[in-house]
């Protein structure tokens, strides 16, 4: 066997073992979510529980209509918010990377200041209330739509690395900034745009804070906030049972936490391989065209 083949074999074995080790925590969460609550309390988290149970999922799906509605709200907010945030970030990054924009470094300084200083929660709430972002779909979308300065500088730095001669040749041919941005710069910047899209998507999917502060209607509850409320109610019921000294747990708590994790990460786990392939494809395209 050649040395190169031996190295590839050993490297493949190591990577495979590492991948299997990474899946063990997810497997444990899945098994515990199907475990009986009393078995979890007695033996702790185990890959081999004494008794399996669907009580945690029955509790989570007890209001199936509300759960489906929350899923739809979260999916809608994530898709629309991610697309809008990537578009805004991409256009802002192009502006800051464009050498023809005067005072672009001074403008970038204003964005950088927001990474160091925060006005606080009260002004944030007052501004959203004043603009009418309360008990409507925009309350879940707009407050998180303003792009992250970190993502902005990530996109700007990538666009600054593109060949200036390519952009100059497009300007000489009569192309305007809109054409250059959407037909040249954005396609070449697909790797970084796909990366920030993943960041924005995870942020929108896991966001429950906006719902706590701005949403009172159950029809607008996102998935994360709905499951947070269910978990809080279960904890309260178990505390009341402890005070009354009944000693019988009728509502799962630990297994319900694991069921929540499976329900919430399910779409992301299924979507991430496609996003990963998209990012890798963008890297190859950027490397060839750049």
Measured CA to CA in angstroms, residue 127 lies from 80, 136, 162, 175, 216 at distances of 22, 15, 38, 39, 18
Q: What is the mean pLDDT of the chain?
A: 79
In a domain, 38, yes or no: no
CB-facing half-sphere around the CA of 131: CA atoms within 13 A: 12
- Structure-block tokens of residue 284: 């190859």
How far apart (Å, rounded) are the C-alpha atoms in residues 165 and 101? 17
In a domain, 41, yes or no: no
Going by pLDDT thresholds of 50, 70 and 90, the confidence category of residue 240 is: low
Under DSSP, is residue 35 helix (H, G, I), strand (E, B) or coil?
A: strand
In a domain, 19, yes or no: no
Domain total for the chain?
Answer: 1
Q: Is the pLDDT of residue 66 over 70?
A: yes
In a domain, 276, yes or no: yes
In a domain, 3, yes or no: no
Check which CATH number belongs to the domain holding 250 and give it.
1.10.3720.10
In a domain, 8, yes or no: no
pLDDT, position 86: 92
Measured CA to CA in angstroms, residue 14 lies from 8, 17, 27, 269, 275 at distances of 10, 5, 20, 23, 24
How far apart (Å, rounded) are the C-alpha atoms in residues 26 and 5? 32
pLDDT, position 285: 43
Q: Is the pLDDT of residue 33 over 80?
A: yes
Under DSSP, is residue 252 helix (H, G, I), strand (E, B) or coil?
A: coil
In a domain, 1, yes or no: no
In a domain, 122, yes or no: yes
pLDDT, position 80: 92
Going by pLDDT thresholds of 50, 70 and 90, the confidence category of residue 196 is: confident
Domain that holds residue 154: 55-289
Q: Is the dihedral of CA 61, 205, 72, 210 positive or negative?
A: positive
Give the residues across from 107 on adjacent strands: none
Query: Is-contact 30 263, C-beta < 8 A?
Result: no
């Amino acid at each position: 066997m050649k040395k190169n083949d031996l190295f590839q074999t050993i490297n493949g074995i190591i990577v495979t073992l590492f991948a299997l080790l990474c899946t063990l925590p997810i497997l444990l969460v899945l098994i515990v979510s199907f475990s009986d609550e009393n078995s979890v309390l007695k033996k702790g988290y185990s890959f081999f529980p004494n008794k399996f149970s669907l009580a945690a999922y029955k509790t989570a799906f007890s209001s199936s209509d509300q759960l489906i509605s929350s899923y739809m709200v979260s999916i809608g907010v994530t898709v629309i918010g991610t697309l809008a945030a990537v578009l805004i970030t991409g256009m802002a990054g192009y502006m800051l990377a464009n050498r023809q924009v005067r005072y672009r470094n001074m403008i970038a300084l204003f964005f950088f200041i927001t990474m160091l200083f925060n006005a606080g929660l009260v002004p944030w709430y007052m501004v959203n209330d004043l603009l009418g972002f309360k008990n409507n779909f925009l309350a879940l979308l707009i407050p998180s739509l303003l792009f992250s300065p970190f993502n902005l500088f990530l996109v700007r730095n990538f666009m600054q690395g593109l060949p200036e001669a390519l952009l100059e040749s497009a300007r000489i041919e009569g192309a305007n900034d809109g054409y250059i941005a959407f037909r040249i710069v954005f396609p070449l910047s697909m790797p970084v745009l796909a990366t920030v899209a993943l960041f924005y998507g995870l942020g929108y999917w896991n966001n429950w804070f906006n719902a706590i502060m701005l949403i009172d209607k159950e029809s607008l509850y996102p998935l994360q906030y709905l499951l947070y409320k269910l978990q809080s109610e279960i904890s309260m019921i178990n505390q009341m049972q402890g005070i009354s000294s009944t000693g019988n747990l009728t509502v799962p708590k630990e297994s319900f936490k694991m069921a929540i994790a499976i329900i919430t990460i399910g779409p992301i786990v299924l979507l991430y391989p496609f996003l990963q392939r998209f990012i890798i494809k963008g890297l190859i395209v950027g490397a060839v065209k750049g």
